[in-house]
Amino acid sequence: MGKELASNIVFSKNVVEFVTVAVQYCTFLENPENITSKEYTDKLTKLLPLLYLKASLLPEIEIEDEIYPEVTVTEDDYNYIVSKLYTAYKENDTYLEVFVEDMKYSDTPISASISEDVADIYQDTKNFISIYEQGIEENMSEGLYTCFENFKLYWGQKLVNVLRALHSLRYAIDEENMEDNGLDSNNIQEEW
């Protein structure tokens, strides 16, 4: 890949927009404030679809050699994010996973974790951002390649799966509030 082509790609509109959203996502998760699960859910249900959209618009690039981009997210960093989210979500952290290849062979439900899935997405995006911030174009291209490949193979699916769980939490019908307003949840289901 020519140096000029790499420069055009890593500074292209779609890559810069992806970096912008990824920085917002990572900064939000790194925020030391303890916030509620409702606040996390509200923000994540806005950031994750945008992150998915921007990642899906990333350009395909080819790398000739095997690459091993720098990994900046440590196990402690990862565990910090998981711990914060798990503390906020508690019993709502686990959700049933349906888009797992092994699911068709399983007699028991397969579960996933909101906190771990969000941290997995953080790990790949943060590693890429760290490389991108260094401004070395060859490394930026390699980091972009790795991040996009991981999106296609791994964290893109995690993103849509965890978004399903977060959507359910955010828009769950509160039966108590419905009854207070004279609504019956059974009648609502029948009307649809």
DSSP classification of residue 112:
E
Helix (H) or strand (E) holding 52: helix 37-56
pLDDT score, position 70: 84
Dist. CA 25–CA 126, nearest whole Å: 9
| Averaged pLDDT score across all residues of the chain | 85
Model pLDDT, residue 96: 87
Q: pLDDT tens digit string along 165-176? A: 999 999 986 544
Lowest mean pLDDT among 34-43, 56-65, 110-119, 155-164: 56-65
Structure tokens at 136: 């070395």
Structure tokens at 37: 């699960």
Residues in the chain: 192
